Amino acid sequence: MSENIYYKPGFKYQLTRDYQVVLPLLGYNITTEYISLNEWGLLTIHRGYAWDGPSGPTIDTKNFMRGSLIHDALYQLLRLGLLPQSERFIADKILQYCCLEDGMSHIRAWYVFQGVDKFAASAADPKNAKREQSAP
């Protein structure tokens, strides 16, 4: 029996059902515990996946949640080195598209894209992966 607990900080939301979407990310065959991306661009984010929701100076609105889920999953694949960093721009555009599709205003979605395009590179960098911690 272990006296310590082990966890990763920084999560706010957790999927209660699997989610699937087809993305313009073709030719990959990636499988992790909670995320899979097949060669036809089918992204599956499995029940139990945890993410931090919309980041930065923003509020968590319903028209931002799906985009933040997909974006966080893609950035996790970038951090893990399973997607090349050259796909970061596509991940950022997918976020903008999802926000628009879910009813976000064009101006806010434009600001969302500008924010991640200019300031989120470090979140996709493998050296910034969330590390396991323990307590006590």
pTM of the model: 0.92
**Residue located via tokens 């607990």:** 5
Tens-place pLDDT, residues 64-122 = 999 999 999 999 999 999 999 999 999 999 999 999 999 999 999 999 999 999 999 99
Q: Lowest-confidence range among 34-43, 107-116, 123-132?
A: 123-132
Check: CB of residue 124 under 8 Å from CB of residue 76: no
Does 55 score more than 90 pLDDT?
no
Given a cut of 80, whether residue 1 has pLDDT beyond it is: no
Length, in residues, of the chain: 136
